[in-house]
């Protein structure tokens, strides 16, 4: 009886599946990485066109500036999600690599007059070198201790920046960093910067998509689920962790370089612990183990902070409360929980009708 009812085809099932299909365009699927091979799908096209069209249909400079910031945060969160979401390690030192990138660009362009395009790549390489040097000893640690050790690296970086005033400008920082320019084209308005940042972000998303599906990406997932199991399968756990950490740091270095050339300043207040916490929060709220989630989380949190800043001194306590509530009610990411809820709601009506039929 039950089997018969389930096999029976009804036209209204099409309606539910159309809704689910539309949903699958909009909300990323966290289980994608073990379900099927990646192909360039309609959803990617949808996101790409949304990114391209967005500033044209909403021509507000403030929003453009906000989205520039969100894009930079998105690059940072994308770098961290490879480490936190895929390899399952936690790092609170991402802001330090961001700072390394920003200061590399600032020093190279203002002191040595290097073109910003070269400084852009130099910052990524510099951040990667830093990550290799400190990752080698630190990545033996796990859990809370890894978090604390990376946090310690961030604090040491801040102290070094503050004290070496001859190189980094101390507490005041470096000003008048030239805008990013490539082949004679200067990115000096918010709209141009928007396309610069989101163009870089698109490239990095494509890179990460390939990385996640490569041998290294699959090894990362194995390391995240069990380190002993992964090493029993012949995966060099220490090397994989170090590699992912370095890639994440290089992403942060790129983001830092873009930040320095977009904002034209670099000062140590920007790269404090608060930024690291914010980045981890973006990854956690976006949902760990998928690539679009952290970017959505970055946009969400950047806009949230901007909206909260109008409440002046109440903004920080409100921000803390909202973060805790989000963590309590959406512990595996807003997108993931929302998707599950929506699927449940949509299929609920279908199941209800079917149940009544069977009971009769």
Tell me: does residue 155 bind other proteins (CB under 8 A). Answer: yes
Residue choice 108, 197, 280, 301 for contact with other proteins (CB under 8 A): 280
Q: For tokens 């918010």, name the residue.
A: 190
Cα first-last separation, the chain: 11
Name the minimum Å distance from CB 298 to other proteins: 15
Q: For tokens 């200067």, name the residue.
A: 186
Residue choice 284, 291, 298, 334 for contact with other proteins (CB under 8 A): 284
Scanning residues 44 to 103, which ones bind other proteins (CB under 8 A)? 84, 90
Residue choice 61, 199, 229, 331 for contact with other proteins (CB under 8 A): 331
Residue choice 15, 50, 233, 327 for contact with other proteins (CB under 8 A): 327
Tell me: does residue 317 bind other proteins (CB under 8 A). Answer: yes
Considering only 4-12, 22-30, 323-331, 349-357, which stretch makes contact with other proteins by CB under 8 A?
Answer: 323-331
Name the minimum Å distance from CB 148 to other proteins: 7
Name the minimum Å distance from CB 178 to other proteins: 30
Distance CA(286)–CA(300), nearest Å, equals 9
Residues 6+ apart with CB under 8 A from 356: none
CB 89 within 8 A of CB 145: no
Scanning residues 113 to 152, which ones bind other proteins (CB under 8 A)? 137-138, 140-145, 147-149, 151-152
CB 212 within 8 A of CB 291: yes
Scanning residues 235 to 264, which ones bind other proteins (CB under 8 A)? none
Tell me if residue 9 falls in helix, strand or coil. Answer: coil
Scanning residues 1 to 20, which ones bind other proteins (CB under 8 A)? none
Which residue number, 59 or 137, has a Cβ lying nearer to other proteins?
137
Distance CA(157)–CA(180), nearest Å, equals 25
CB 83 within 8 A of CB 248: yes
Residue choice 160, 242, 303, 343 for contact with other proteins (CB under 8 A): 160
Which residue number, 64 or 241, has a Cβ lying nearer to other proteins?
241
Distance CA(317)–CA(307), nearest Å, equals 14
Query: CA nearest 188: which of 302, 68, 105, 108?
Result: 68
Helix, strand, coil tally for the chain in percent (to 5): 80, 0, 20
Considering only 53-61, 207-215, 222-230, 327-335, which stretch makes contact with other proteins by CB under 8 A?
Answer: 327-335
Query: CA nearest 176: which of 73, 298, 65, 260?
Result: 260
Tell me: does residue 159 bind other proteins (CB under 8 A). Answer: yes
Distance CA(323)–CA(306), nearest Å, equals 15
What 8-state DSSP symbol labels residue 179? P
Q: Give the binding site for other proteins (CB under 8 A).
A: 84, 90, 137-138, 140-145, 147-149, 151-153, 155-156, 159-160, 162-163, 273-274, 277, 280-281, 284, 288, 313-314, 316-317, 319-321, 323-324, 327-328, 331
């Amino acid at each position: 009886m039950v089997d018969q009812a389930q096999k029976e085809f009804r036209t209204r099932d099409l309606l539910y599946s159309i809704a689910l299909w539309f949903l699958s365009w909009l909300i990323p699927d966290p289980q994608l990485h073990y379900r099927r091979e990646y192909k360039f799908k309609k959803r990617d096209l949808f996101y790409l066109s949304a990114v391209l069209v967005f500033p044209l249909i909403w021509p507000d400079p403030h929003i453009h500036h906000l989205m520039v910031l969100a894009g930079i945060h998105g690059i940072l969160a994308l770098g961290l999600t490879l480490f936190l979401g895929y390899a399952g390690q936690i790092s609170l030192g991402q802001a330090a690599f961001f700072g390394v990138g920003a200061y590399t660009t600032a020093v190279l362009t203002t002191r040595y007059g290097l073109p910003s395009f070269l400084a852009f790549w130099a910052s990524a390489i510099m951040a990667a070198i830093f990550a290799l040097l400190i990752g080698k000893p630190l990545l033996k640690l796990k859990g809370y201790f890894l978090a604390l050790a990376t946090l310690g690296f961030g604090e040491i970086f801040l102290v070094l920046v503050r004290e070496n005033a001859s190189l980094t400008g101390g507490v005041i920082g470096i000003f008048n960093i030239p805008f990013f320019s490539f082949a004679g084209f200067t990115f000096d308005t918010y709209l141009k910067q928007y396309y610069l940042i989101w163009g870089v972000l698109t490239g990095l998303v494509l890179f990460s998509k390939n990385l996640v599906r490569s041998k290294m990406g699959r090894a990362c997932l194995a390391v995240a689920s069990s380190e002993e199991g992964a090493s029993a399968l012949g995966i060099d756990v220490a090397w994989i962790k170090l590699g992912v950490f370095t890639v994440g740091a290089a992403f942060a270095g790129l983001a830092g370089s873009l930040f320095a050339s977009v904002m034209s300043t670099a000062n140590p207040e920007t790269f404090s612990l608060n930024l690291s916490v914010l980045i981890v929060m973006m990854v956690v709220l976006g949902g760990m183990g998928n690539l679009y989630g952290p970017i959505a989380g970055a946009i969400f949190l950047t806009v949230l902070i901007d909206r909260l800043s109008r409440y002046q001194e109440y903004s920080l306590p409100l921000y803390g409360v909202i973060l805790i509530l989000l963590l309590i009610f959406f512990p595996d990411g807003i997108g993931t929980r929302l998707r599950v809820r929506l699927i449940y709601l949509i299929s609920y009506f279908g199941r209800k009708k079917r149940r009544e039929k069977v009971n009769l």
